[in-house]
């Protein structure tokens, strides 16, 4: 084993970034992932869009399907975290009971779990409209948009709340990194 491999940090954790579409979850996750990799951590980002394409294809956007999607992602995140990977999960997960079930899965397995609320107001998200979802919803082309005509239950007591509309991506990632360091995970 060379000295480089000995430097790798093997304490896993799931860091779930919840928030509205276009809140900045994925951007912050990738920014933090880069920083953690530079420090020698094993890191994976479970991007919600990629997961829906490859792992949960066939699920729709009903409450039941959204719950199933979150539970499957939670299972995968827990598996990775238990195996020494910092697993960043920028996934909306609009329902509190779904997020709580994922937290309980991690508690039962002993894997660290951190919930981050990227608390960007819907007005800012609809201006950003990264994927054009708000425009499509406004035009009547789609319905069931989280935070507009479908529920989003904000976390009551997340481990960290990020106001991404008042700070840069780097500042947001740094705040999350500081929390990880405080908990002995970075």
Q: Which residues are annotated binding-site positions? A: 19-26
Residue 68 tokens read as 């199933």
Edge-to-edge order in the sheet of strand 13-18: 43-45, 86-90, 13-18, 112-118, 160-162
Backbone angles phi and psi of 87, in degrees to 5 = -110, 110
- CA dihedral (99, 131, 52, 87) positive or negative: negative
- 62 beta partners: none
3-state secondary structure of 90: strand
Q: Say how far apart CA 37 and CA 45 lie, in whole Å.
A: 12
Residue list for the binding site for ATP: 19-26
């Amino acid at each position: 084993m060379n000295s480089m491999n000995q430097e790798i940090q093997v304490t896993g954790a799931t860091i779930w970034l919840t928030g509205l579409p276009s809140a900045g979850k994925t951007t912050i996750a990738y920014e933090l992932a880069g920083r953690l990799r530079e420090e020698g951590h094993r890191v994976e980002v479970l991007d919600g869009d990629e997961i829906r394409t490859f792992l949960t294809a066939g699920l729709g956007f009903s409450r039941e399907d959204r719950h199933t999607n979150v539970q499957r992602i939670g299972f995968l995140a827990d598996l990775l975290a238990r195996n020494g990977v910092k697993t960043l999960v920028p996934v909306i997960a609009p329902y509190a009971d779904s997020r709580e079930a994922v937290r309980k899965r991690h508690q039962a397995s002993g894997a660290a779990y951190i919930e981050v609320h990227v608390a960007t107001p819907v007005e800012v998200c609809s201006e950003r409209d990264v994927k054009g979802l708000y425009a499509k919803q406004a035009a009547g082309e789609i319905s069931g948009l989280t935070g507009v005509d479908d529920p989003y239950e904000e976390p009551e007591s997340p481990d960290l709340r990020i106001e991404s509309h008042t700070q840069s991506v780097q500042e947001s990632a740094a705040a999350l990194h500081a929390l990880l360091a405080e908990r002995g995970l970075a």
